[in-house]
Chain A
Amino acid sequence: MNRAQLPLACAGLLAATAAMAADEAKATDPISTYLVDMSPGAVSAGEMLGLSPSAISNLQAPKDFVAAINTLSSGNTKQGFGLSFTPGRTRYAPVSIDDYSHRLGSRIWAGTSFSYAQNQNTLAGIDYKQEAVALHIAYYLNKDDDPAVAGYQGFARCAVVRKQMADEGERSNAMFEALRKQGLSAEAAANMVDAFSEKNSEFSARTDKAVAKCVDDAVAKAKAKWNANQIAITFGQARIQGPAAGAPHLSLGHTASLSAALGPNEWSLVNLTVRRTSKELDLKTIATTPDYKTSTLAAARWTYGMGDARDTYALAEISNAKASSNTLSNRAFKYALGVDKRLTEGLWLELRVGKNRSADGATEQTTALMNLKLSPTSTLPKP
Protein backbone atom coordinates (compact mmCIF):
# COMPACT_ATOMS: atom_id res chain seq x y z
CA MET A 1 0.00 0.00 0.00
CA ASN A 2 1.41 3.43 -0.90
CA ARG A 3 1.09 6.56 1.17
CA ALA A 4 -1.65 7.92 -1.07
CA GLN A 5 -3.85 4.93 -0.23
CA LEU A 6 -3.23 5.16 3.49
CA PRO A 7 -6.00 7.68 4.35
CA LEU A 8 -8.60 5.70 2.41
CA ALA A 9 -7.47 2.49 4.07
CA CYS A 10 -7.76 4.14 7.45
CA ALA A 11 -11.21 5.42 6.53
CA GLY A 12 -12.24 1.90 5.58
CA LEU A 13 -10.93 0.54 8.84
CA LEU A 14 -12.76 3.23 10.77
CA ALA A 15 -16.00 2.43 8.98
CA ALA A 16 -15.63 -1.31 9.61
CA THR A 17 -14.86 -0.73 13.28
CA ALA A 18 -17.85 1.52 13.61
CA ALA A 19 -20.11 -1.04 11.94
CA MET A 20 -18.97 -3.67 14.45
CA ALA A 21 -19.49 -1.25 17.30
CA ALA A 22 -22.95 -0.46 15.96
CA ASP A 23 -23.93 -4.12 16.20
CA GLU A 24 -22.87 -4.18 19.84
CA ALA A 25 -24.47 -0.84 20.39
CA LYS A 26 -27.91 -2.21 19.55
CA ALA A 27 -28.02 -3.60 23.06
CA THR A 28 -26.60 -0.42 24.52
CA ASP A 29 -28.81 2.04 26.25
CA PRO A 30 -29.56 4.83 23.78
CA ILE A 31 -29.22 7.42 26.52
CA SER A 32 -25.63 6.48 27.26
CA THR A 33 -25.04 6.48 23.51
CA TYR A 34 -26.40 9.99 23.42
CA LEU A 35 -24.30 11.18 26.30
CA VAL A 36 -21.06 10.60 24.45
CA ASP A 37 -22.06 11.08 20.84
CA MET A 38 -23.89 14.30 20.14
CA SER A 39 -21.00 15.90 18.26
CA PRO A 40 -18.03 14.81 16.16
CA GLY A 41 -15.44 15.89 18.74
CA ALA A 42 -12.48 18.20 18.29
CA VAL A 43 -8.81 17.61 17.48
CA SER A 44 -7.16 20.95 18.24
CA ALA A 45 -3.82 20.06 16.67
CA GLY A 46 -5.65 19.18 13.46
CA GLU A 47 -7.29 22.58 13.41
CA MET A 48 -3.83 24.15 13.42
CA LEU A 49 -2.75 22.18 10.34
CA GLY A 50 -5.89 22.72 8.36
CA LEU A 51 -7.33 19.19 8.59
CA SER A 52 -10.40 21.31 8.63
CA PRO A 53 -9.22 24.72 7.39
CA SER A 54 -11.46 26.56 9.79
CA ALA A 55 -10.38 29.20 12.22
CA ILE A 56 -13.11 28.05 14.61
CA SER A 57 -12.19 25.91 17.62
CA ASN A 58 -14.93 23.36 18.14
CA LEU A 59 -16.50 23.38 21.60
CA GLN A 60 -18.71 20.37 22.07
CA ALA A 61 -19.29 17.60 24.61
CA PRO A 62 -15.78 16.34 25.42
CA LYS A 63 -14.89 12.75 24.61
CA ASP A 64 -12.20 10.47 25.93
CA PHE A 65 -10.70 9.78 22.52
CA VAL A 66 -11.14 11.21 19.02
CA ALA A 67 -9.47 10.13 15.80
CA ALA A 68 -9.88 12.29 12.72
CA ILE A 69 -9.04 11.36 9.15
CA ASN A 70 -8.92 13.87 6.33
CA THR A 71 -10.11 11.60 3.54
CA LEU A 72 -10.67 14.02 0.70
CA SER A 73 -9.59 17.58 0.08
CA SER A 74 -9.41 19.77 -2.97
CA GLY A 75 -6.80 21.98 -1.29
CA ASN A 76 -3.05 21.62 -1.08
CA THR A 77 -3.06 19.87 2.28
CA LYS A 78 -3.76 16.14 2.20
CA GLN A 79 -3.19 12.77 3.82
CA GLY A 80 -3.86 14.05 7.29
CA PHE A 81 -4.96 12.53 10.54
CA GLY A 82 -5.32 13.68 14.11
CA LEU A 83 -5.71 12.11 17.53
CA SER A 84 -7.14 13.69 20.65
CA PHE A 85 -7.03 12.18 24.12
CA THR A 86 -8.79 13.37 27.29
CA PRO A 87 -7.14 11.53 30.22
CA GLY A 88 -9.67 12.60 32.84
CA ARG A 89 -12.40 10.75 30.98
CA THR A 90 -10.47 7.49 30.63
CA ARG A 91 -9.42 4.92 33.22
CA TYR A 92 -5.78 6.08 32.95
CA ALA A 93 -6.13 9.30 34.94
CA PRO A 94 -9.84 9.21 35.68
CA VAL A 95 -12.02 11.73 37.41
CA SER A 96 -14.83 10.18 39.42
CA ILE A 97 -18.28 11.30 38.42
CA ASP A 98 -18.90 12.56 41.95
CA ASP A 99 -15.77 14.76 41.89
CA TYR A 100 -16.63 15.84 38.37
CA SER A 101 -20.06 16.99 39.50
CA HIS A 102 -18.86 18.87 42.58
CA ARG A 103 -15.33 20.14 42.01
CA LEU A 104 -14.21 22.87 39.65
CA GLY A 105 -10.69 21.46 39.35
CA SER A 106 -12.03 18.03 38.43
CA ARG A 107 -14.25 19.44 35.69
CA ILE A 108 -11.32 21.42 34.29
CA TRP A 109 -9.10 18.31 34.26
CA ALA A 110 -11.84 16.22 32.65
CA GLY A 111 -12.17 18.92 29.98
CA THR A 112 -8.41 18.91 29.21
CA SER A 113 -7.40 17.25 25.96
CA PHE A 114 -4.03 16.55 24.38
CA SER A 115 -3.87 16.19 20.63
CA TYR A 116 -1.46 15.43 17.81
CA ALA A 117 -1.98 15.83 14.07
CA GLN A 118 0.02 15.50 10.90
CA ASN A 119 -0.57 16.01 7.20
CA GLN A 120 1.19 16.88 3.96
CA ASN A 121 1.34 20.27 2.29
CA THR A 122 2.36 20.59 -1.36
CA LEU A 123 4.27 23.79 -2.11
CA ALA A 124 5.79 24.40 -5.54
CA GLY A 125 5.41 20.73 -6.33
CA ILE A 126 7.24 19.57 -3.20
CA ASP A 127 5.48 17.58 -0.46
CA TYR A 128 6.25 18.86 3.01
CA LYS A 129 5.34 17.05 6.21
CA GLN A 130 3.49 19.12 8.81
CA GLU A 131 2.76 18.14 12.39
CA ALA A 132 1.32 19.82 15.45
CA VAL A 133 0.60 19.24 19.13
CA ALA A 134 -1.95 21.07 21.22
CA LEU A 135 -3.38 21.36 24.70
CA HIS A 136 -7.08 22.23 24.86
CA ILE A 137 -9.15 23.01 27.96
CA ALA A 138 -12.93 23.36 27.62
CA TYR A 139 -15.37 24.29 30.36
CA TYR A 140 -19.17 24.52 30.67
CA LEU A 141 -20.10 27.91 32.12
CA ASN A 142 -23.04 26.23 33.89
CA LYS A 143 -22.16 22.74 35.11
CA ASP A 144 -25.82 21.70 34.99
CA ASP A 145 -25.60 21.99 31.19
CA ASP A 146 -23.08 19.15 31.11
CA PRO A 147 -24.89 15.90 30.19
CA ALA A 148 -22.66 13.86 32.50
CA VAL A 149 -23.53 16.12 35.47
CA ALA A 150 -27.22 16.13 34.53
CA GLY A 151 -27.30 12.33 34.39
CA TYR A 152 -25.50 11.95 37.70
CA GLN A 153 -27.70 14.50 39.46
CA GLY A 154 -30.73 12.69 38.08
CA PHE A 155 -29.40 9.47 39.57
CA ALA A 156 -28.69 11.15 42.93
CA ARG A 157 -32.30 12.35 43.04
CA CYS A 158 -33.70 8.85 42.45
CA ALA A 159 -35.74 8.44 45.61
CA VAL A 160 -36.68 4.89 44.62
CA VAL A 161 -33.04 3.76 44.81
CA ARG A 162 -32.60 5.21 48.26
CA LYS A 163 -35.87 3.74 49.53
CA GLN A 164 -35.21 0.26 48.14
CA MET A 165 -31.73 0.20 49.63
CA ALA A 166 -33.08 1.41 52.97
CA ASP A 167 -35.81 -1.26 52.97
CA GLU A 168 -33.35 -4.05 52.14
CA GLY A 169 -30.99 -2.83 54.83
CA GLU A 170 -33.72 -2.78 57.46
CA ARG A 171 -34.83 -6.31 56.49
CA SER A 172 -31.27 -7.60 56.77
CA ASN A 173 -30.81 -5.94 60.15
CA ALA A 174 -34.09 -7.38 61.47
CA MET A 175 -33.04 -10.87 60.34
CA PHE A 176 -29.62 -10.46 61.96
CA GLU A 177 -31.11 -9.36 65.27
CA ALA A 178 -33.55 -12.27 65.25
CA LEU A 179 -30.73 -14.75 64.65
CA ARG A 180 -28.67 -13.19 67.43
CA LYS A 181 -31.58 -13.54 69.85
CA GLN A 182 -31.69 -17.24 68.96
CA GLY A 183 -28.13 -17.52 70.20
CA LEU A 184 -26.12 -17.52 66.98
CA SER A 185 -22.73 -15.88 66.99
CA ALA A 186 -22.36 -12.57 65.16
CA GLU A 187 -20.27 -14.26 62.48
CA ALA A 188 -22.77 -17.08 61.89
CA ALA A 189 -25.73 -14.70 61.84
CA ALA A 190 -23.95 -12.39 59.41
CA ASN A 191 -23.11 -15.26 57.06
CA MET A 192 -26.72 -16.47 57.06
CA VAL A 193 -28.10 -12.99 56.38
CA ASP A 194 -25.61 -12.36 53.56
CA ALA A 195 -26.41 -15.71 51.93
CA PHE A 196 -30.15 -15.05 52.18
CA SER A 197 -29.80 -11.52 50.73
CA GLU A 198 -27.74 -12.73 47.80
CA LYS A 199 -30.40 -15.21 46.76
CA ASN A 200 -33.53 -13.29 47.59
CA SER A 201 -32.81 -9.65 46.88
CA GLU A 202 -35.49 -7.93 44.84
CA PHE A 203 -33.41 -4.80 44.49
CA SER A 204 -32.54 -4.88 40.80
CA ALA A 205 -35.98 -6.08 39.72
CA ARG A 206 -37.54 -3.02 41.33
CA THR A 207 -34.93 -0.39 40.70
CA ASP A 208 -33.61 -0.93 37.16
CA LYS A 209 -36.52 0.69 35.36
CA ALA A 210 -36.96 3.32 38.03
CA VAL A 211 -33.29 4.30 37.77
CA ALA A 212 -33.57 4.41 34.00
CA LYS A 213 -36.50 6.78 34.23
CA CYS A 214 -34.78 9.05 36.77
CA VAL A 215 -31.67 9.35 34.62
CA ASP A 216 -33.59 9.60 31.36
CA ASP A 217 -35.63 12.51 32.69
CA ALA A 218 -32.51 14.35 33.83
CA VAL A 219 -30.53 13.72 30.65
CA ALA A 220 -33.49 14.74 28.51
CA LYS A 221 -32.97 18.24 29.91
CA ALA A 222 -29.28 18.11 29.02
CA LYS A 223 -30.16 16.76 25.58
CA ALA A 224 -31.63 20.14 24.82
CA LYS A 225 -28.30 21.67 25.81
CA TRP A 226 -26.17 20.48 22.90
CA ASN A 227 -25.51 24.19 22.46
CA ALA A 228 -24.68 24.97 26.09
CA ASN A 229 -22.44 27.96 26.81
CA GLN A 230 -18.78 27.00 27.02
CA ILE A 231 -15.36 28.61 26.94
CA ALA A 232 -12.02 27.12 26.03
CA ILE A 233 -8.36 27.95 25.71
CA THR A 234 -5.92 26.19 23.40
CA PHE A 235 -2.13 26.25 23.24
CA GLY A 236 -0.32 24.60 20.37
CA GLN A 237 2.80 24.32 18.33
CA ALA A 238 3.28 23.22 14.73
CA ARG A 239 6.23 22.63 12.42
CA ILE A 240 7.00 21.74 8.82
CA GLN A 241 9.77 19.67 7.27
CA GLY A 242 10.87 19.06 3.70
CA PRO A 243 11.24 15.58 2.17
CA ALA A 244 15.05 15.56 2.01
CA ALA A 245 16.89 13.51 4.60
CA GLY A 246 18.01 15.69 7.50
CA ALA A 247 15.83 18.61 6.39
CA PRO A 248 15.35 21.06 9.25
CA HIS A 249 12.06 21.54 11.06
CA LEU A 250 10.71 25.06 10.59
CA SER A 251 8.15 26.60 12.90
CA LEU A 252 4.58 26.86 11.68
CA GLY A 253 3.73 28.85 14.74
CA HIS A 254 3.11 28.95 18.44
CA THR A 255 -0.61 29.39 18.95
CA ALA A 256 -2.82 30.58 21.76
CA SER A 257 -6.55 30.85 21.24
CA LEU A 258 -9.62 31.76 23.21
CA SER A 259 -12.98 30.35 22.16
CA ALA A 260 -16.56 30.71 23.26
CA ALA A 261 -19.73 28.80 22.39
CA LEU A 262 -23.05 30.47 23.02
CA GLY A 263 -26.53 29.05 22.50
CA PRO A 264 -28.97 31.88 21.82
CA ASN A 265 -31.88 29.47 21.43
CA GLU A 266 -32.58 25.75 21.48
CA TRP A 267 -31.78 25.11 17.81
CA SER A 268 -28.66 27.20 17.16
CA LEU A 269 -25.12 27.69 18.42
CA VAL A 270 -22.67 30.55 17.87
CA ASN A 271 -18.92 29.84 18.08
CA LEU A 272 -16.37 32.65 18.38
CA THR A 273 -12.60 32.14 18.24
CA VAL A 274 -9.67 34.52 18.50
CA ARG A 275 -6.34 32.90 17.67
CA ARG A 276 -2.92 34.50 18.06
CA THR A 277 -0.07 32.82 16.21
CA SER A 278 3.55 33.89 16.58
CA LYS A 279 6.71 32.72 14.85
CA GLU A 280 4.72 31.40 11.91
CA LEU A 281 6.70 30.66 8.75
CA ASP A 282 5.90 32.73 5.66
CA LEU A 283 5.47 29.79 3.27
CA LYS A 284 6.92 31.76 0.36
CA THR A 285 10.28 31.75 2.15
CA ILE A 286 10.34 28.02 2.93
CA ALA A 287 12.97 27.31 0.25
CA THR A 288 15.06 30.42 0.95
CA THR A 289 15.81 32.31 4.15
CA PRO A 290 12.85 31.61 6.43
CA ASP A 291 10.84 34.63 7.50
CA TYR A 292 8.37 34.47 10.37
CA LYS A 293 5.20 36.40 11.06
CA THR A 294 2.76 37.06 13.87
CA SER A 295 -0.96 37.29 13.23
CA THR A 296 -4.29 37.32 14.95
CA LEU A 297 -7.22 35.48 13.42
CA ALA A 298 -10.83 35.94 14.45
CA ALA A 299 -13.73 33.82 13.29
CA ALA A 300 -17.40 33.24 13.93
CA ARG A 301 -19.61 30.26 13.12
CA TRP A 302 -23.36 29.75 13.28
CA THR A 303 -24.56 26.17 13.66
CA TYR A 304 -28.10 24.90 13.24
CA GLY A 305 -29.07 21.66 14.98
CA MET A 306 -31.43 19.74 12.76
CA GLY A 307 -34.04 17.56 14.43
CA ASP A 308 -34.23 16.05 17.89
CA ALA A 309 -31.77 13.23 17.29
CA ARG A 310 -28.81 15.66 17.39
CA ASP A 311 -27.13 13.74 14.59
CA THR A 312 -27.04 16.42 11.87
CA TYR A 313 -25.80 19.99 11.97
CA ALA A 314 -25.60 22.66 9.27
CA LEU A 315 -23.13 25.49 9.68
CA ALA A 316 -21.83 28.72 8.17
CA GLU A 317 -18.67 30.58 9.17
CA ILE A 318 -16.56 33.62 8.37
CA SER A 319 -13.11 34.80 9.41
CA ASN A 320 -10.70 37.66 8.86
CA ALA A 321 -8.11 35.41 7.18
CA LYS A 322 -5.98 37.62 4.96
CA ALA A 323 -5.34 36.85 1.31
CA SER A 324 -2.15 38.91 1.52
CA SER A 325 -0.55 36.82 4.28
CA ASN A 326 1.09 33.60 3.09
CA THR A 327 0.98 31.70 6.36
CA LEU A 328 -0.78 28.42 7.12
CA SER A 329 -3.15 29.99 9.63
CA ASN A 330 -4.30 32.51 7.03
CA ARG A 331 -5.37 29.70 4.74
CA ALA A 332 -8.37 29.28 6.98
CA PHE A 333 -11.72 29.66 5.31
CA LYS A 334 -12.67 33.26 4.71
CA TYR A 335 -16.20 31.94 4.54
CA ALA A 336 -17.60 28.44 4.31
CA LEU A 337 -20.66 26.26 4.58
CA GLY A 338 -20.70 22.77 6.05
CA VAL A 339 -22.59 19.78 7.37
CA ASP A 340 -21.71 17.44 10.26
CA LYS A 341 -23.52 14.11 10.15
CA ARG A 342 -23.37 11.15 12.52
CA LEU A 343 -23.15 8.02 10.35
CA THR A 344 -23.41 5.61 13.25
CA GLU A 345 -22.52 5.57 16.93
CA GLY A 346 -19.08 7.10 17.35
CA LEU A 347 -18.52 7.89 13.65
CA TRP A 348 -19.10 11.35 12.23
CA LEU A 349 -18.73 12.79 8.74
CA GLU A 350 -17.69 16.44 8.33
CA LEU A 351 -18.24 18.16 4.96
CA ARG A 352 -16.96 21.68 4.24
CA VAL A 353 -16.86 23.93 1.19
CA GLY A 354 -15.62 27.49 1.19
CA LYS A 355 -13.24 30.13 -0.03
CA ASN A 356 -9.68 30.40 1.20
CA ARG A 357 -6.32 31.52 -0.05
CA SER A 358 -4.43 29.34 -2.51
CA ALA A 359 -1.08 27.79 -1.63
CA ASP A 360 0.88 30.40 -3.57
CA GLY A 361 -1.05 33.18 -1.90
CA ALA A 362 -1.84 34.69 -5.25
CA THR A 363 -5.51 33.87 -5.59
CA GLU A 364 -8.62 32.94 -3.73
CA GLN A 365 -9.74 29.38 -4.28
CA THR A 366 -12.74 27.20 -3.55
CA THR A 367 -11.87 24.32 -1.25
CA ALA A 368 -14.01 21.30 -0.48
CA LEU A 369 -13.10 18.62 2.02
CA MET A 370 -14.43 15.62 3.87
CA ASN A 371 -13.30 14.40 7.31
CA LEU A 372 -14.22 11.27 9.19
CA LYS A 373 -14.10 11.37 12.99
CA LEU A 374 -14.20 8.31 15.17
CA SER A 375 -14.85 8.69 18.89
CA PRO A 376 -16.07 5.40 20.36
CA THR A 377 -16.96 5.21 24.04
CA SER A 378 -14.04 2.96 24.89
CA THR A 379 -11.13 2.29 22.60
CA LEU A 380 -8.25 2.04 25.03
CA PRO A 381 -7.36 -1.30 26.59
CA LYS A 382 -7.86 -1.81 30.31
CA PRO A 383 -4.61 -1.47 32.26
Chain B
Amino acid sequence: MQLKLTKNVNKGVLTVQGPQVSFQLGDAGQANVAVHVVAHGEHFHFPLEPGEPPKPSATFAPGEYACTVMVAAFSHGAMGTSYDSSVSIGGKPVATARGDVAADSEEHASRTFALQVL
Protein backbone atom coordinates (compact mmCIF):
# COMPACT_ATOMS: atom_id res chain seq x y z
CA MET B 1 0.00 0.00 0.00
CA GLN B 2 1.23 3.48 -0.85
CA LEU B 3 0.10 6.18 1.57
CA LYS B 4 0.83 9.53 -0.04
CA LEU B 5 1.16 12.88 1.72
CA THR B 6 -0.14 15.93 -0.14
CA LYS B 7 1.76 19.10 -0.88
CA ASN B 8 0.17 20.65 2.22
CA VAL B 9 2.83 18.69 4.13
CA ASN B 10 5.88 20.77 3.19
CA LYS B 11 9.28 19.28 4.10
CA GLY B 12 7.70 17.18 6.80
CA VAL B 13 5.56 19.98 8.29
CA LEU B 14 1.81 20.60 8.11
CA THR B 15 0.80 24.07 9.32
CA VAL B 16 -2.77 24.70 10.52
CA GLN B 17 -4.66 27.34 12.44
CA GLY B 18 -5.47 26.60 16.08
CA PRO B 19 -6.62 26.24 18.71
CA GLN B 20 -9.49 24.09 17.38
CA VAL B 21 -8.12 21.73 14.75
CA SER B 22 -10.49 19.57 12.70
CA PHE B 23 -9.69 15.97 11.71
CA GLN B 24 -11.59 14.27 8.87
CA LEU B 25 -10.93 10.62 8.10
CA GLY B 26 -12.75 8.41 5.60
CA ASP B 27 -12.70 5.70 2.98
CA ALA B 28 -14.82 5.36 -0.15
CA GLY B 29 -13.93 1.77 -1.01
CA GLN B 30 -15.56 -1.59 -0.47
CA ALA B 31 -12.84 -3.32 1.57
CA ASN B 32 -12.84 -3.18 5.38
CA VAL B 33 -10.55 -0.19 5.94
CA ALA B 34 -9.39 1.42 9.18
CA VAL B 35 -7.85 4.90 9.23
CA HIS B 36 -6.13 6.25 12.36
CA VAL B 37 -4.50 9.58 13.22
CA VAL B 38 -2.53 10.18 16.43
CA ALA B 39 -1.30 13.59 17.53
CA HIS B 40 -0.30 14.76 21.03
CA GLY B 41 -2.26 11.97 22.70
CA GLU B 42 -5.41 12.65 20.66
CA HIS B 43 -6.70 9.69 18.63
CA PHE B 44 -9.02 9.85 15.63
CA HIS B 45 -10.34 6.67 14.05
CA PHE B 46 -12.46 5.56 11.11
CA PRO B 47 -14.84 3.76 10.99
CA LEU B 48 -16.74 4.59 14.15
CA GLU B 49 -18.35 1.80 16.10
CA PRO B 50 -22.15 1.66 15.76
CA GLY B 51 -23.50 4.28 18.15
CA GLU B 52 -20.11 5.91 18.79
CA PRO B 53 -20.32 9.73 18.70
CA PRO B 54 -18.09 11.39 16.10
CA LYS B 55 -14.99 13.31 17.22
CA PRO B 56 -14.44 15.94 14.57
CA SER B 57 -11.79 18.10 16.26
CA ALA B 58 -9.44 18.67 19.20
CA THR B 59 -7.85 21.71 20.91
CA PHE B 60 -4.12 22.31 20.50
CA ALA B 61 -2.05 25.10 22.01
CA PRO B 62 0.33 26.78 19.53
CA GLY B 63 3.36 24.60 18.87
CA GLU B 64 4.75 21.58 17.02
CA TYR B 65 3.36 18.10 17.55
CA ALA B 66 4.31 14.74 16.11
CA CYS B 67 1.44 13.39 13.99
CA THR B 68 1.10 9.89 12.48
CA VAL B 69 -1.47 8.80 9.90
CA MET B 70 -2.08 5.07 9.44
CA VAL B 71 -4.30 3.18 6.98
CA ALA B 72 -5.02 -0.58 7.09
CA ALA B 73 -7.19 -2.42 4.54
CA PHE B 74 -8.55 -5.94 4.99
CA SER B 75 -10.38 -8.08 2.43
CA HIS B 76 -11.60 -10.63 4.99
CA GLY B 77 -15.41 -10.66 4.97
CA ALA B 78 -15.54 -7.43 2.97
CA MET B 79 -18.04 -6.34 0.33
CA GLY B 80 -15.14 -5.73 -2.07
CA THR B 81 -11.39 -5.25 -2.35
CA SER B 82 -11.06 -1.55 -3.15
CA TYR B 83 -9.84 1.13 -0.76
CA ASP B 84 -9.85 4.90 -1.30
CA SER B 85 -8.81 6.57 1.94
CA SER B 86 -8.32 10.23 2.70
CA VAL B 87 -7.31 12.34 5.71
CA SER B 88 -7.77 16.09 6.15
CA ILE B 89 -6.46 18.11 9.10
CA GLY B 90 -7.44 21.70 9.78
CA GLY B 91 -9.44 21.66 6.58
CA LYS B 92 -6.37 20.74 4.50
CA PRO B 93 -6.06 17.44 2.60
CA VAL B 94 -3.11 15.63 4.12
CA ALA B 95 -2.93 12.00 3.00
CA THR B 96 -4.48 9.63 0.49
CA ALA B 97 -4.27 5.90 -0.23
CA ARG B 98 -5.99 4.20 -3.16
CA GLY B 99 -5.89 0.67 -4.54
CA ASP B 100 -7.08 -2.92 -4.15
CA VAL B 101 -6.18 -5.34 -1.40
CA ALA B 102 -5.59 -8.93 -2.46
CA ALA B 103 -8.12 -11.61 -1.57
CA ASP B 104 -7.82 -12.89 2.00
CA SER B 105 -5.08 -10.40 2.69
CA GLU B 106 -4.21 -7.18 4.47
CA GLU B 107 -2.23 -4.09 3.57
CA HIS B 108 -1.22 -1.16 5.74
CA ALA B 109 1.02 1.90 5.73
CA SER B 110 1.82 4.85 7.99
CA ARG B 111 3.33 8.31 7.56
CA THR B 112 4.63 10.66 10.24
CA PHE B 113 5.10 14.41 10.05
CA ALA B 114 5.13 17.53 12.23
CA LEU B 115 1.80 19.24 12.92
CA GLN B 116 2.54 22.94 13.40
CA VAL B 117 -0.38 24.72 15.13
CA LEU B 118 -0.42 28.52 14.89
Contacts and interface: CB of A to CB of B under 8 A. Distances in A.
B38 to A, nearest CB: 3
Contacts, number: 171
Given A151-B77, A151-B79, A161 B34 contact: yes
Contacts of B34: 155, 158, 161-162, 165
A277 B37 CA distance: 56
Contact of B11 (A155, A158, A185): A185
B15 to A, nearest CB: 11
Interface centre among B38, B45, B47, B76 (most CB of A within 10 A): B76
Given A165-B34, A169-B36, A215-B76, A190 B111 contact: yes
Size band of the interface chain A makes with B: 35 or more
A162 B36 contact: yes
Size band of the interface chain B makes with A: 35 or more
Interface stretch (A171-179, A230-238, A334-342, A362-370): A171-179
A151 B79 CA distance: 8
A173 B68 contact: yes
A197 interface: yes
* Majority-rule SS of B interface residues: strand
Nearest to A144: B50
Interface string A182-209: 0001111111011001100101100110
A32 B32 contact: no
B112 A166 contact: no
12 contacts: A95-B30, A96-B84, A97-B31, A151-B79, A170-B38, A176-B66, A176-B114, A186-B114, A189-B114, A190-B114, A194-B110, A211-B74
Interface of B: 11-13, 26-32, 34, 36-39, 43, 45-50, 64, 66-68, 70, 72, 74-80, 82, 84, 103-104, 106, 108-114
Given A91-B82, A180-B114, A185-B12, 5 more contacts: A29-B75, A94-B29, A155-B77, A215-B32, A219-B77
